[in-house]
Structure 1
Amino acid sequence: MRIFIVEEQLVQITKEVIDAHQYPFDIHLVTEPAAILRDIGELPNIYFLTADSADVAWQIRELDVHGYLIFFTDCAGALHDIVGQYIAPTAYIVKQEEISRSWDDIAFALQSVFSREMLRQNTNCFVFDNENRVAYEDILYFETIPRTRKVMLHTRNGTYIIADFLKNIKAGLASHAEFSGVNSYLINLNNVTRIDRKNGIIAFKGDAQIHAGRRVISTVYKDFQSQFLH
């Protein structure tokens, strides 16, 4: 996992924190926040951003849904503006006059990232918005909410609104063969009970069902056969 850092003065102290705790993080210094978007590479990453980088932060989040954003600012008063422009950063750090005095704050932020990433990688749950978790076995399907940057997650126990693009969720679940994705849906085949190709209906455990077009029905039916009927 890489740490993108814009301010060169933070490199040395961040390296000291990484070495002290033996974190599997590599530092990548960039000349400006926008440069991150051109070199974002393998995901997820950690991003050290200044308080005036909120616009870039939104673009980063669209590309790296599980990324960790850490904002640096010269004054505590700027934090209110960050909160108003961005959703749930991992940490805020107010830079001290002597940069070495920020060691503890950087260490705390990276420890939080490391803990969250280990939990995300070693769980049987779908993690979203950094805090919420739903067991894969409880997921019925995801669907895009038209004309928004949001997705509706339908589960056995209720629904959730996720501030993300469906393409990012599909990418994050690409290694899970039980999920079939086409057009504006991502469907958990393990919870499908019936596919009515004639009437365009996919039924799930419980009483949930969706009405879908021919392409969705055909793709899900083909994936369902491949998963369970071979």
Structure 2
Amino acid sequence: MLEVFVCEDDTEQRKRLTTYIENYIMMENLDMKVVISTGNSNDIIQYLKENRVTGLYFLDVDLQEEQSGIALGAEIRQYDNQGSIVFVTTHSELTYLTFTYKVEAMDYITKDKFTDIQKRVIDCIDTANQRYLQNRHSNKKIFQTKTGDKVISVDYSDILFFETSPQLHKIFLHATNRQVEFYGKLKDILEMDSRFYRCHNSYVVNKDNIAEVDMKKREIRMINGQICYASSRFLKGLKDIVQH
């Protein structure tokens, strides 16, 4: 389900915007829901800290609190990098700040008498829903985990191997362009995808990203040159994988 969030500190405008959204969702029977409609940005951030979300966010730029709606959008990106952000504003001249904060916005809806706000809101809902359905049905599979207060997303195709961390109950994820440490167990990782193979008590490797295996040294060279290790116990299974 695509979750929808509204952050607008003007009560009447927030009610109107939320009504536009909820009515259209109901009329079109969309797999969407307004989960938070608030004047306080902390309500949204707290929810994102506690839940994995792909969202559609309607944010007032000129929030009457410490951070602007654009700063809120930047913070949202730390938890939901796949979501769609729409800024609703009376200050169209402030849209340049989205580049300063590096927030990718779907749209800017200006609150003036010349703008058909309801139509623009509906257009944004349609676009966000289409993107959500395309991503959900695509072959690209995303591995997500929490590290601290951030949700990290990595394409399965970019994962090289997992390694137990010296820190108790933690795992290192080695990807083609990053390394992430998070709480988890290798046995749980194994069950996530058929590409993953237990090559050592301390390692789970992505079979698709193996470049070669040195049977004597019990070393697995990955496609980017990184080395993962195998134990003699798991070598035979590894040999079968490479030969196939």
Fold match, TM over 0.5? yes
What secondary structure is seen at the aligned counterpart in 1 of 2:31?
coil
8 Å Cα contact 2:5-2:58 kept in structure 1: yes
Deviation per CA, 1:75-119: give whole Å up to 9, x if none: 3212122233233222222223498x3011111111111111111
Distance 2:123 2:91 in 1: 19
Aligned residues: CA RMSD: 4.1
* Number of the residue aligned with 2:53: 43
Q: TM-score, normalised by structure 1?
A: 0.63
Distance 1:109 1:186 in 2: 41
Match of 2:102 among 76, 79, 86: 86
Identity of aligned residues (%): 15
Q: TM-score, normalised by structure 2?
A: 0.60
Distance 2:87 2:73 in 1: 10
Distance 2:92 2:213 in 1: 56
* Number of the residue aligned with 1:30: 38
Instruction: Map 1:20-169; keep pairs closer than 5 Å.
Output: 20-27=27-34, 28-40=36-48, 41-51=51-61, 52-97=68-113, 101-125=116-140, 139=157, 141=159, 154=176, 166=180
The Cα of 1:201 is off from its aligned counterpart by 4.7
Query: Structure 1 residues 95 and 120, CA, compared in 2 at 3 Å: closer, same or farther?
Result: same
What secondary structure is seen at the aligned counterpart in 2 of 1:72?
strand
Q: Which amino acid aligns with 1:178?
A: R
8 Å Cα contact 2:98-2:105 kept in structure 1: no
Distance 1:22 1:15 in 2: 10
Distance 1:225 1:66 in 2: 37
Q: Which moved more, 1:83-92 or 1:63-72?
A: 83-92
Residues paired across the two proteins, number = 188
Q: Which has the larger radius of gyration?
A: 2
8 Å Cα contact 2:213-2:219 kept in structure 1: yes
Distance 1:62 1:14 in 2: 25
Distance 1:71 1:186 in 2: 43
1:203 aligns with 2:221: yes
* Number of the residue aligned with 1:132: none
Q: Which runs of 5+ in 1 are unaligned?
A: 128-134, 144-151, 155-160, 169-173
8 Å Cα contact 2:3-2:33 kept in structure 1: yes
Structure with bigger strand share is: 2
Query: Structure 1 residues 26 and 200, CA, compared in 2 at 3 Å: closer, same or farther?
Result: same
Q: Which runs of 5+ in 2 are unaligned?
A: 9-13, 62-67, 143-154, 162-173, 183-190, 198-202
Distance 1:39 1:194 in 2: 44
* Number of the residue aligned with 1:3: 4
* Number of the residue aligned with 2:167: none
8 Å Cα contact 1:34-1:56 kept in structure 2: no
Q: Which amino acid aligns with 1:203?
A: R
